[in-house]
Amino acid sequence: MDNELAVLGGALIVAGLFARFGRRIGLPTIPFFIVAGIIFGPETPGIVLLEDPHELELLATLGLVLLLFHLGIEFSVDQLLQGGRKLLWAGGSYIGLLFGVGLIFGWAVGWGTREIFVLAGMIGTSSTAIVTKLMVDLRRIKRPESGMILGIIVVEDVFLAFYLALLQPILGGQEGAGEIVVSILIAFSFLIGLFSLARWGGRLVRPFFAAGDAELSVIIAMGFGVFVAGFAHFAGASDAVGALLAGMVVAGTGLGHRVEKLLVPIRDVFAAIFFFWFGTTIAPSALGEIAGAVAAAVALTLVMNIVAGIVAARIYGYGRLAASNTALMLVSRGEFELILASLAIAAGLNSKVAAFAALFVLALSIISPLASARSHVLASWLPRRWFAPDSDERDRMPEAEESISIIEVGAIRRLGADTVEYPVKPHYAVVGAFVRELDLPRDALVTAIVRGDEVVAPRGSTRIKSGDRLHILVRREVAREVEALQDRWQHGPMHAPPRPRRKLRGGAPIFTVRPCDEDAVTGDFEHPEEILGQAVVAKLRDRRDRPGALVALEDGRYAVTGPTLIAGSRDDVTAYARRRVGSDDPDERAWLQTIVGALAIDIFDAAPALNGAGDSGRRSPT
């Protein structure tokens, strides 16, 4: 097909259709993107969408860069440091066992010295995307071992960053040990510089990304990620590792979740192009040649994952089920293996490496979800004597404490959301709280409360009672945030600590209306930390149609964030909102009415600012 736009559109359509089929049968989308590329690529007889894979190479590289950039945004350096020795031992043992076996396997296959390091990396690293998706789909976020699994993934990500920096000079074909050492030192210097910026310099570069408008912040951040990836390639490191560290820098600014929400759809489109393009580079005839090697690698990976899962569980004091869950979730392979294979293709390595990666990923990305859903079978086979005496008790988690998905398939799920049911038990902290005190993010909403034989249409002022079943509409982007909130609903505290009394001043509070930008607001519009130099002491309401919030400030004023910043006394802000409540925009009108109502019930004591210590605020009963 000669028309480049038609080629691109056709590639996205067939990749999307294949992935839709995979999702309907409960499997990850990545292998189906690859299969679509193989079927419609130049190496397969029949309909050929793309005669020359080089035509999509730039867009595919952008997909690779965005995958790693987004991963970097989700990365938490603090999580790695807070994990302590247990996490380092668990993650290190996992990488050591799998990577070591991968080196032996690569040597046994006999495809070449450089190919050994690529194969070892494929066997030694899990798929972050598939593992996290499995946790959400199987509703295991709150299981005891989930933190350990996520921690191991973080250790793997750090290892991958340094490994890619080490691998790039080796794959580049430098001659002589001295040349390789110089290339590695340059790449590592660049890597350590970016890592240090992500760890300690986030606040310094925050003004560069904080454009005041979420869309502009995403544009700047994405440009930064692509630029750093290109510069990393120029410096001798991998463009993939450059993108990963650029994402970590953005995460360190505190703007990560704002950028992430708008970046995800862009990432998904270009990632689909990357996986489809990768499929077009594979000849189906080559799959048969390496089937035996792939079968051996799959068996070896499964066995070593079980061993590594047992070791990690013993380090943390968990039991058989935790070890089984860890082993079968982390056995998934996906984006990292294909990244390594794409580097091998670019370096002109043995063509069998790409075919090996495709079939290896296809096999394990199917095995992992199916096996993880039945992890209790493997757990029952593991001897109890391998674990601490009371470890099985720690593995148990009452199923009723998790929210239950009541729409597994259908229009809502296909549109990127889910409806969950959360049962309220008598001893839960949420009993007696108002719906507005659930502190749900903007992309989650209580749609109904089932109370006995009736259905209650919830309002913010609706009290939650024991025995209620909350039906909550949750977009996938905030699924993990809602999962985390459920622990507070169960154990508390539900109510924010009392905020300091308003400090009286000699004159009337200053009333301000101005554009909302980074000069006026520190933090996101949804979660501001400081406004006009005053700390935010309480958030009263969230705006649902766009980023924004109604908050109380340390100096006693109230502020409204969004496209326009409003700050002033209760009366001034209320009067301003009432004057504009006749807006033609229904969303704007609803938000202004919410502001008026919230300020009307937020009765708050004022006290002279003699010595701020010891002051305590209280709200009147409503």
Q: In order of start, what are the domains of the chain with their CATH numbers?
A: 54-385 (1.20.1530.20), 399-491 (3.30.70.1450), 502-608 (no CATH)
Is the pLDDT at 351 greater than 70? The verdict is yes
266 or 502, which is more confident?
266
Is the pLDDT at 62 greater than 70? The verdict is yes
Percentage of the chain with pLDDT > 90?
A: 8
pLDDT in tens, 451-508: 887 888 898 889 999 889 898 888 766 777 787 788 788 887 776 556 555 555 556 7
396: CB partners within 8 A, 6+ apart: none
CA atoms within 13 A on the CB side of 278: 36
Average pLDDT on 286-297 reads: 86
Whether the Cβ atoms of residue 501 and residue 606 lie closer than 8 Å to each other: yes
In this prediction, residue 311 has a pLDDT band, given cuts at 50, 70 and 90, of very high
Is the pLDDT at 617 greater than 50? The verdict is no
Distance from CA of residue 409 to its chain's centroid?
22
The pLDDT, as a whole number, for residue 614 is 38
456 or 285, which is more confident?
456
- Secondary structure letter of residue 110 according to DSSP: T
Specify which of 189-198, 323-332, 504-513 reaches the highest per-range mean pLDDT.
Answer: 323-332
Q: What's the CA gap between 121 and 135, in Å, rounded?
A: 24
The pLDDT, as a whole number, for residue 202 is 67
- Look at residues 331, 326, 410, 408 and name the one whose alpha carbon lies nearest to residue 366: 331
480 or 294, which is more confident?
294
- Look at residues 149, 161, 250 and name the one whose alpha carbon lies nearest to residue 205: 250
The pLDDT, as a whole number, for residue 203 is 67
The pLDDT, as a whole number, for residue 464 is 92
Average pLDDT value over all residues in the chain: 78
Tell me the pTM: 0.57
3 state DSSP class of 317: coil
Q: How far is CA 219 from CA 197, 206, 225, 527, in A?
A: 20, 14, 10, 21
Weakest-pLDDT range from 338-342, 568-572, 593-597:
338-342
| Encoded amino acid at 23, one letter | R
**Longest CA–CA separation in the chain, Å:** 84
Distance from CA of residue 552 to its chain's centroid?
30
Is the pLDDT at 395 greater than 60? The verdict is no
Q: What are phi and psi of 537, to 5 degrees?
A: -105, -15
Average pLDDT on 2-11 reads: 81
Strand 502-504 relative to strand 606-608, pairing: parallel
- Look at residues 562, 490, 500 and name the one whose alpha carbon lies nearest to residue 531: 562
Token digits of residue 571: 């009366």
Q: What's the CA gap between 139 and 397, in Å, rounded?
A: 12
In this prediction, residue 81 has a pLDDT band, given cuts at 50, 70 and 90, of low
